[in-house]
């Protein structure tokens, strides 16, 4: 960084701008965690330990990370420099822009976790059917989507307008406290950073 007010758009333009193969909606920002952020991450891990048990946490290798993922909208940041989406960067920030992708992954409490081709206009149920449908212990009302850029959102209605190339649809299990290892590991594979996984799982098990 050359100055304290450098933003996402500044960094990308300094690097020569995105190529024709860049998938801007999938871009993500990795940030070095401050002391306060590490403390909050530790608090969440302790919450998870009470809910899932220390043995489960140890088996997953969950611990406080030095970095975490920040959900960004690089497409909007480049379209409107210095706008709300054009975040001010911190020392140590890393921006990753993936190539175009055309798949959707289905994971969690489904019969057969799967990755299939993205089909424009198809709803969430279509993709769940590509994974054999939901399992008996699925919490269907709690379905959520993880995007490549690090953002997470709950499925609303059919979810047709929420599906994007590269996203992952997650169906949580009905297990409220002592979740099984396979289910938690299913969540673990869905997140671009352990810090994001910790926060998201903790949010689910609190409900």
Structural domains in the chain, CATH included, are 101-205 (3.10.20)
Angle at 170 between CA 164 and CA 175, to 5 degrees: 165
pLDDT higher than threshold 90 for residue 192: no
Q: How far apart are CA 13 and CA 186, in angstroms?
A: 37
Q: What is the pLDDT of residue 59?
A: 59
Q: Among 149, 154, 105, which residue's Cα sits nearest to residue 131?
A: 105
Contact 65, 205 (CB under 8 A): no
Q: What is the pLDDT of residue 204?
A: 47
Q: How far apart are CA 38 and CA 40, in angstroms?
A: 5
Is the entire prediction scored with pTM above 0.85?
no
pLDDT higher than threshold 90 for residue 183: no
Contact 170, 146 (CB under 8 A): yes
- The mean-pLDDT minimum among 18-22, 75-79, 141-145, 149-153 falls in 149-153
Q: What is the pLDDT of residue 52?
A: 63
Q: Give the count of beta carbons closer than 10 Å to the beta carbon of residue 146.
A: 23
Question: Confidence band (pLDDT; 50, 70, 90) for 1?
Answer: low
- N-term to C-term CA, the chain: 41
> pLDDT of 27-63, one tens digit each?
999 999 899 888 888 887 787 777 666 765 665 567 7
> pLDDT of 122-169, one tens digit each?
999 999 999 999 999 898 998 999 899 888 889 999 999 999 999 999
């Amino acid at each position: 960084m050359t100055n304290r007010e450098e933003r996402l758009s500044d960094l990308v333009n300094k690097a020569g701008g995105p190529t024709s193969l860049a998938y801007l909606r999938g871009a993500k920002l990795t940030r070095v965690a401050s002391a306060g952020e590490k403390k909050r991450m530790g608090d969440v891990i302790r919450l998870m330990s009470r809910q899932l048990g220390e043995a489960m946490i140890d088996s997953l290798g969950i611990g406080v990370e030095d970095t975490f993922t920040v959900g960004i909208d690089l497409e909007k940041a480049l379209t409107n420099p210095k706008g709300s989406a054009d975040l001010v960067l911190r020392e140590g920030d890393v921006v990753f822009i993936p190539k175009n992708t055309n798949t959707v992954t289905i994971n969690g409490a489904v019969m057969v976790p799967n990755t299939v081709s993205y089909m424009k206009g198809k709803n969430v149920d279509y993709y769940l059917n590509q994974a054999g449908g939901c399992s008996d212990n699925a919490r269907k009302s709690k379905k959520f989507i993880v995007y490549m850029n690090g953002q997470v959102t709950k499925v609303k209605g059919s979810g047709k307008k929420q599906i994007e190339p590269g996203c992952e649809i997650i169906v949580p299990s009905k297990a409220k406290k002592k979740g099984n290892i396979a289910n938690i590991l299913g969540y673990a594979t869905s997140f671009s950073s352990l810090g994001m996984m910790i926060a998201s799982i903790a949010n689910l098990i609190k409900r």
